[in-house]
Structure 1
């Protein structure tokens, strides 16, 4: 058979050791899918493009690989942008290969199906770069460059667009047998490390704020623990930074970032080392964090440095900066462990003074039910907001959509992660968020994915109901008509059960002894804890 541009794409993906691709077939991209048929790639076909992008995101987070996403032209490409915003905000490496109308129609209004005036322009706000292959000879180098850029700190989605005729036409490009990639490392400048080390050596109350950049940076966790132990400094984890330092470590102050005790600890530090975090809205307890001492801010994304607070800014990869600091500082004893323990006890005492028995029991029961090494995925829902602060990832990984804050992340991401990692995952959503991804029950059944989906059904957008009631005295447009989720799941051939708060832990634990997808529906109205 005559090779074409689609074959060149698939050959490159094979050389890049890609095993899974996510997406939905589209008219302009059919040559890509025909080439997949002749390859060893596993294609995971979602039912909505936004969920395909969430799937590629979840796969990348769970496996540590680059998520690969095939998008069709126009409506398909645009539908995925909301999910790409989450990957872009969170720093998840994705290679997006989007089809395009034939070259003769690009930039014109010829009335071609799916045609956009400027498709790459739509993607530029949620990707690190965009490129268009004008002929099949450009495909190998464009994909290699995109692959490298997607992983270079700060990681993120990269967009390569290929017109339909380039994919379909016979190519004279020889079969691709070699690939050259170069993932850029961002090392810290020596003089900045010297200055930061001097500040940390002179600190009496140092605190470390560990963000998602620590988790995503190769060697970041080990470097963080080494530096924290040298400084004897308590470590607060952001939502994205959960697991950067194990909660079981004596220096871990956990991740109660929406709690005034934690905000005060960060504010009162005479030197705060913030690594891999923008210190943004959630991490700063909704911009109430006000540092009294010096701030050292380390991040591979230069635009977040000093965006919210003056600091000694170090533009660098988290692991490289932490390692350099650990090599430079002078170890000393301190009271970091006592401070961390005191903070966690203070939080427990404050929560005990609120009427939160149901919520605390739910978090405890879920944590006991889910294996320590399982990866969990949380949507923008009250249970997810609780998990931001309360969930201990133990030996697994914690993933949520707090980067961009869109609904519908958890289930398609957990589904793809289960397929890629080969282990059961847990997704937690509300009933509102569940409707964004309900169609992916078909994907879960088609691929027999080992994914457990907990839907907390409170009859509406629960967190918005709470926010509006607190602010305006009454909620508007938050109440929702919804299906019988258990019956709907059963119609897809997915086992489902309705449970009570008392029985949810047992039900979730039971799904981890089975194979294939499972749905657990919990009718319950939860409340958020008061942050002060």
Structure 2
């Protein structure tokens, strides 16, 4: 037992769980946390807005596979970070948000205390896996251990810890709580046998891989090869099978070719994928009566598509068990690589048509960043039409994109978190002119950190997708035309480099220069035909 302040107990518990970096902003009520960071060797990365801190922690978590941590102050700061927590929940990303709360003996109906919020923990509980308010210094290490256990076992999702600011300041006797690691969940043998029988008999199998397959890339490759099954992924599963593998079709579940492929297939293995409307866009895939699903979440495994066989378990372990049952025999049907090549051509042609206005940007990014590059995208047309199905990925955790929740402003701070999580890897942000303005202040964060970060802003003069939807509905088109700032000049005002480009050659040159710079570079690309 050791006598510590609440802030010291928190930081010591974070360090015990391997945390060496936190993102955030200091405030009056969290200073005891900040006072304790240096002694535990925890680096603080200061952002310019709490939402940016949350997105940066998300980007860090996505590229490393470890929880990202954000520390903010109470009230408005916590609610500023709520959108980032909601996005992490939607995409199953382990993010821990820590913030002070009102003191233990604060009047229930309030008295006008600084940052007073009627029910801060309740507000965060609505967007996180859970929010927990501690009530003593002694409880803090246990609360942190519980949060990490929740984030690193089963389906990873964000957690919010609220520590009353008087608890942060007071001293108490503290016992450490060691990190807990749970055993990987294994499906029942009878279910594995049934799944192997269904898949082994399939002549035209298909694999759909989501974000839950990111840690099972090798096992996915082995099973797909044994089945001779083409593999298509969601946005979060992008790169689970390298895009240059003979069975890989890449990402883009929404494309009509994927629907046609699913209809042709006589068995479909779905690995860690929600099959969500935000991935499919045009309605459910035709999967009735032929689906085997692997998911660590027993609720998700029966959501959006009922499986013939449900395998509730860890993806890597379950895929290994299936491969062992299938043995080394040949696939039941025709060669999978020939079928995959045929469907890859059809799907690729559709993706290229859909992403045509942005294809030159996507191709130049892929060429310049190389196989190890990371792109953090925003909810922008250049990303969901251009990059999602056209940008090649050769490993998981290389394409960071806010699916589901669809928040704007994600890409720039997520790229900052990714660059810190994978130092030395080429990282770029791909944004729209509307979304970048939500978190453009984080450019100052990237400047302060000295990041060689290309920030590609594709400018269509406002909210292009909403403009198109208004026109399609035959509604008056209004409130979507936004006069763009000179983004290159804005970048220079914040201490970054800034350039305008208009073709493949100048973009290639700008990207190459940005990756060698000592500061971020905003690359402003005006979309042809935009207002």
State the TM-score, normalized to the length of structure 2: 0.93
For 2:503, what is the secondary structure of its paired residue? coil
Counterpart for residue 524 of structure 2:
521
Distance 2:101 2:467 in 1: 41
Distance 2:252 2:96 in 1: 34
Structural mapping, 1:316-465, within 5 Å: 316-330=313-327, 331-333=329-331, 334-350=334-350, 358-385=357-384, 386-395=386-395, 397-423=398-424, 424-465=426-467
Question: What is the CA-CA distance between 1:244 and the residue it aligns to?
Answer: 0.7
Counterpart for residue 190 of structure 2:
191
For structure 2, the residue ranges without an aligned partner over 5 or more in a row are none
Deviations 1:459-480 (A, max 9, x none): 1111222233223365332111
Structural mapping, 1:147-226, within 5 Å: 147-173=148-174, 176=176, 179-183=178-182, 185-215=184-214, 217=215, 220-226=216-222
Distance 1:338 1:235 in 2: 13
Distance 2:528 2:72 in 1: 38
1:275 touches 1:297 (CA, 8 Å); kept in 2? yes
More moved, 383-392 vs 394-403 = 394-403
Question: What is the CA-CA distance between 1:10 and the residue it aligns to?
Answer: 1.2
Question: What is the CA-CA distance between 1:172 and the residue it aligns to?
Answer: 3.2
Distance 2:217 2:291 in 1: 21
1:415 touches 1:450 (CA, 8 Å); kept in 2? no
Deviations 1:361-412 (A, max 9, x none): 2222221122221111111111101211111123571110113111111100
Distance 1:369 1:54 in 2: 25
- 1:314 aligns to 2:311 (yes or no): yes
1:358 touches 1:501 (CA, 8 Å); kept in 2? no
More moved, 262-271 vs 278-287 = 278-287
- 1:481 aligns to 2:483 (yes or no): yes
Residues 93 and 355 (structure 1), Cα distance of their counterparts in 2 relative to 1, 3 Å cut? closer
1:149 touches 1:183 (CA, 8 Å); kept in 2? no
Distance 1:442 1:357 in 2: 33
Distance 1:348 1:180 in 2: 45
1:153 touches 1:184 (CA, 8 Å); kept in 2? no
1:272 touches 1:293 (CA, 8 Å); kept in 2? no
Distance 1:392 1:380 in 2: 18
- 1:250 aligns to 2:246 (yes or no): yes
Distance 2:234 2:146 in 1: 31
More moved, 278-287 vs 5-14 = 278-287
Matched pairs, number: 521
Counterpart for residue 505 of structure 1:
508
Residues 182 and 526 (structure 1), Cα distance of their counterparts in 2 relative to 1, 3 Å cut? farther
Question: What is the CA-CA distance between 1:525 and the residue it aligns to?
Answer: 4.3
Distance 2:38 2:118 in 1: 31
Residues 329 and 322 (structure 1), Cα distance of their counterparts in 2 relative to 1, 3 Å cut? same
For 2:232, what is the secondary structure of its paired residue? strand
Distance 1:391 1:147 in 2: 33
Counterpart for residue 530 of structure 1:
none
Question: What is the CA-CA distance between 1:88 and the residue it aligns to?
Answer: 0.8
Structural mapping, 1:47-86, within 5 Å: 47-86=48-87
State the TM-score, normalized to the length of structure 1: 0.93
Distance 2:354 2:317 in 1: 44
Distance 2:259 2:127 in 1: 30
Counterpart for residue 229 of structure 1:
225
For structure 1, the residue ranges without an aligned partner over 5 or more in a row are 528-532
Question: What is the CA-CA distance between 1:184 and the residue it aligns to?
Answer: 5.2
Residues 58 and 349 (structure 1), Cα distance of their counterparts in 2 relative to 1, 3 Å cut? closer
Counterpart for residue 92 of structure 1:
93
Distance 2:502 2:107 in 1: 55
> Given the alignment, which residue of 488, 493, 496 partners 2:495?
493
Residues 243 and 37 (structure 1), Cα distance of their counterparts in 2 relative to 1, 3 Å cut? same
Distance 1:351 1:206 in 2: 22
1:273 touches 1:295 (CA, 8 Å); kept in 2? yes
Question: What is the CA-CA distance between 1:18 and the residue it aligns to?
Answer: 1.1
Counterpart for residue 266 of structure 1:
262
Deviations 1:466-521 (A, max 9, x none): 23322336533211133211111101110110111332222112212223211111
For 2:145, what is the secondary structure of its paired residue? helix
Distance 1:25 1:357 in 2: 44
Counterpart for residue 280 of structure 2:
284
2:454 touches 2:514 (CA, 8 Å); kept in 1? yes
Distance 1:421 1:389 in 2: 24
